[in-house]
Structure 1
Amino acid sequence: MTLPQDAFKTAYKPKKNETVSKIESSLDKLLVKLVHLKDAIQSCLCNLWTKYLPQIGKLKSINYASSKAFIKRYKWRILIILILLYAGSKTYDYFFPAGKKASGPQTITSIVVEKKDVPLIIEATGTIVSNSIVDIRPMITNTVTKIHIKDGQEVTEGQLLFSLDDRNDKANYEKLKALADDSQKQYLRAKELVAKNFISKAGLETSLANAKSAQAAARSAEVQLSFDLIRSPINGRAGIINVFPGSFVQASNAVISSTNASATSTTGSMVTITQLNPINVQFVVPEKDIPIILENKKADEPLKVKVTVGNTGKTVYEGQVLVIDNQVDPAIAAVRVKAQIPNEKMELLPGQFARISLNANTLKDALAVPTQAIVISPTGRLVYVVDKDDKVTAKPVKVTYEYQGNSVVTGIQAGDRIVVEGKQNLRTGSKVRESKISKGPAPAAPANNAPASEQK
């Protein structure tokens, strides 16, 4: 089957320049000769097949001996045919290379790389903890006479919570107060007598010591009386009240509540006051990320955090780090960090599970590209850079930071145009064209959410 000459001539368009026209004319003639050569080769092969087919058909069986005899007899003809086929294939590939035979440029989506500041984000999980929490316990063993608050009530510092039976303590205080007042009067009378030389100075000093001792005893009784009025030491919310009017309470460090068929008795915490606004969140940072946060901490810049609670993540609470622990826990190779966040609506409670994004540092003038633009090859990671002629070149890159679909890389320059989508079948030197509708994401840095960061 012969190829029409017009198919070769359409690949070349004549120009006004005579030299170019002569070159094109020579190429056309050469291509015509190649077509005739191809036709001659095909005709020769057909003649050989027609001539020797009957002889091959007469062979009852093809074995090694007959094949060897056939090749030995017609070896020069077979060699010439193979040389002609090889020369024709190479000539065809020379004038019609694989690149020119391709279907056309590959459609891609690309972006232009720009320098920008990229925050280093460390992601962690933690627990909501109270900024201040106090278990209210009695200082003395006594009986509750009145409860001045309700379960879950908001209380302020100094607000009266419980009243205990103070009859005995009040009587003791009044007794000691009267003795203190009497001792003070005797001391004043002794001063007058010393001035008139009715008593010695030693008697005056004894009177002064008795007055001071009586006053100290009165103040001690007053303190003991104050234990019968239990007040809140902080602002916060009261929890469930564990005692009732008439309950017998004891001074204890352990919270013990026991219930039987007749009553509930409590030794220890009568109620717990929890400060909810502001509230804290506690989490751990991996050991490998400690230098990053300490470097920013030395610059006296507050470390910002963003906290979400629950699976919805609709509400984001912004705060800052309060303290980084002074030692690493060797069991988990991490350091504890505590941050504080506002809680005006009282929606957060201690013990809740939280997700934390810590803005540990900022990479200045970094080159951020979409992670999907990076190709993982046997030799490493690379990106395809498009030149001004719309041809791509594979350039190796090194990823220094990766977070939420964006990667900070080295190995390329600002202003380079890199392929984001359509890179599957690309090779160095491939021709590409930009998609009319860009679907590739811009290389935006994660501004308001880190990995924990991932250093590579």
Structure 2
Amino acid sequence: MKMKIVWVCVALLTGFAAFWLHGNSGPTPDEAAGPPGMKRGPGEGKPAPVQAARATSGDIDVYLNALGTVTARNTSTVKARVDGQLVRIAFREGQLVKAGETLAEIDPRPFQVVLDQANGQLLRDQALLANARLDLERYRGLLAKDSIAKQQVDAQEALVRQYEGTVLMDRAQVDSARLQLGFTRITAPVAGRLGLRQLDTGNMIHGSDTTGLVVITQTQPITVVFAIPAGDISAVLSRLHGDERLRVEAFDRDGKTLLATGNLLTLDNQIDTTTGTVKLKAEFANNDERLFPNQFVNARLRVETRHDAVLVPLSAIQRGTQGTFVYVLSKDRTVSLRPVTLGPVSGETVAIEKGLTAGEEVVTDGADKLREKAKVEVSTPGASANAAAEHGAQSAGGARRHKPQ
């Protein structure tokens, strides 16, 4: 009797296990439907929701992108040209100055003394020259009367020429002393913005000082130096030789904020063999001073504008083992995979050089779930959010209407 009960229990457990395994081995309704977007038989599954855009024909700018460094148009270290004590500072740090503007003053008294000495020596020698010339005139008169020897006249002429040379040398000494005195006023060699002061009033300043008094950088206009691949040189040169002004845009390090717009000045005369690039220099007005010396920027050089190009959103481009492709919508609202050849990219728009024509619709969102010949349902961006908001407003209005008194 006990054995029969045991066998009955074993049979029941075996049947329950077989039923459980058999019931879970079949596909669920969702699994039977397959992945979204797969082509199914009539009435099977739902179309995959996607967003689409129509390929258009238009113009697109071709840009070369590079990392650039902002460089001052001119950089000058202001140094003293004579040695002396600094008695006055006539500038503020960070100030904008013009060329020739006084920045500082060295004690001028020692140099004034030297100038006075040179002037005194000049006056003395000029008096000697004047007396020698008078003697020469008298000697010539006496020689005409045969009262003196010609040798004495010749000696006096030589003395006059000697004094003339001395006076010329004295005048040069005066000019040199006056020049040294003028150097006690330290002026700005170029226009620009001043940096931090390197020396204070009361200190001795020397022409041999390496740091100088202050550094001036010319930031209006300012330049940006960047490098492009050697293969793009011909495209740039052909337009520079045609006197075409190539526009250059400077963006911040993130490449999102436009800082300034300028023009290409020139390019270097040789290729860097270590990197295979050539340096270019662009100039910017920088009136708002958004560009700062030694700042890193992203430079964009527009080399040409392509007309009547086939344009699609960049989000429509897919990449796989077969290369770049797009999903093209058919009239029956199915999609087909189309390999394409990409052209230049400008922002969120890309040009298609081969594989697509203007007017065709391509999938821009939801392509990750699609397959060849998959059925789709095109939705407008933001439509679901608007519908949800409208439904919520209607529900709230209904609730207010049915609110119990």
Q: Is the 8 A contact 2:80 2:205 kept in 1?
A: yes
Q: Is the 8 A contact 1:386 1:417 kept in 2?
A: yes
Please state how far the C-alpha of 1:144 moved relative to its aligned partner. 1.5
1:363-374 matches, cutoff 5 A:
363-374=306-317
Q: Equivalent residue for 1:229?
A: 185
Q: Is the 8 A contact 2:118 2:174 kept in 1?
A: yes
1:399-438 matches, cutoff 5 A:
399-412=342-355, 414-421=357-364, 423=367, 424-427=369-372, 435=378, 437=380
Residues 61-113 of structure 1, C-alpha deviations (whole Å, 9 max, x = no match) = xxxxxxxxxxxxxxxxxxxxxxxxxxxxxxxxxxxx96656668766544443
Q: Equivalent residue for 2:283?
A: 340
Among 368, 374, 380, which residue is 2:323 paired with? 380
Rounded Cα–Cα distance in structure 1 between residues aligned with 2:126 and 2:222: 51
TM (norm. structure 2) is 0.68
1:6-405 matches, cutoff 5 A:
100=42, 109-184=51-126, 186-187=128-129, 197=140, 199-200=153-154, 201-252=157-208, 254-255=210-211, 269-309=212-252, 316-386=259-329, 394-405=337-348
Q: Is the 8 A contact 2:68 2:227 kept in 1?
A: yes
* Matching residue's letter, 1:208: E
What SS does the aligned partner of 1:292 have? helix
What SS does the aligned partner of 1:131 have? strand
* Matching residue's letter, 1:162: A
Q: Is the 8 A contact 1:109 1:439 kept in 2?
A: no
Whichever of the two has the greater Rg, that structure is 1
Please state how far the C-alpha of 1:126 moved relative to its aligned partner. 2.9
Once the two structures are overlaid, the 10-residue window that deviates more, 167-176 or 408-417, is 408-417
Please state how far the C-alpha of 1:436 moved relative to its aligned partner. 5.7
* Matching residue's letter, 1:323: T
Residues 8-27 of structure 1, C-alpha deviations (whole Å, 9 max, x = no match) = xxxxxxxxxxxxxxxxxxxx
Please state how far the C-alpha of 1:285 moved relative to its aligned partner. 2.7
Q: Is the 8 A contact 2:104 2:185 kept in 1?
A: yes
TM (norm. structure 1) is 0.61
* Matching residue's letter, 2:182: S
Please state how far the C-alpha of 1:247 moved relative to its aligned partner. 0.8
Rounded Cα–Cα distance in structure 2 between residues aligned with 1:226 and 1:313: 51
Rounded Cα–Cα distance in structure 1 between residues aligned with 2:201 and 2:329: 82
* Matching residue's letter, 2:295: Q
Rounded Cα–Cα distance in structure 1 between residues aligned with 2:208 and 2:59: 56
Rounded Cα–Cα distance in structure 2 between residues aligned with 1:312 and 1:393: 35
What SS does the aligned partner of 2:166 have? helix
Residues 38-80 of structure 1, C-alpha deviations (whole Å, 9 max, x = no match) = xxxxxxxxxxxxxxxxxxxxxxxxxxxxxxxxxxxxxxxxxxx
| 1:366–1:104 distance in 2 versus 1, CA, 3 Å | same
Give the aligned CA root-mean-square deviation in angstroms: 3.5
| 1:136–1:114 distance in 2 versus 1, CA, 3 Å | same
Q: Is the 8 A contact 1:385 1:416 kept in 2?
A: no
Rounded Cα–Cα distance in structure 2 between residues aligned with 1:148 and 1:411: 67
* Matching residue's letter, 1:216: A
Rounded Cα–Cα distance in structure 2 between residues aligned with 1:377 and 1:243: 64
Rounded Cα–Cα distance in structure 2 between residues aligned with 1:411 and 1:253: 65
Q: Is the 8 A contact 2:58 2:310 kept in 1?
A: yes
Rounded Cα–Cα distance in structure 2 between residues aligned with 1:155 and 1:208: 45
Unaligned runs of 5+ in 1: 1-96, 256-268, 441-456
Rounded Cα–Cα distance in structure 2 between residues aligned with 1:189 and 1:321: 68
| 1:298–1:114 distance in 2 versus 1, CA, 3 Å | farther
Rounded Cα–Cα distance in structure 2 between residues aligned with 1:379 and 1:346: 48
Sequence identity percentage: 25
What SS does the aligned partner of 1:330 have? coil
Q: How many residues align?
A: 329
Unaligned runs of 5+ in 2: 1-38, 142-152, 384-405
| 1:299–1:392 distance in 2 versus 1, CA, 3 Å | farther
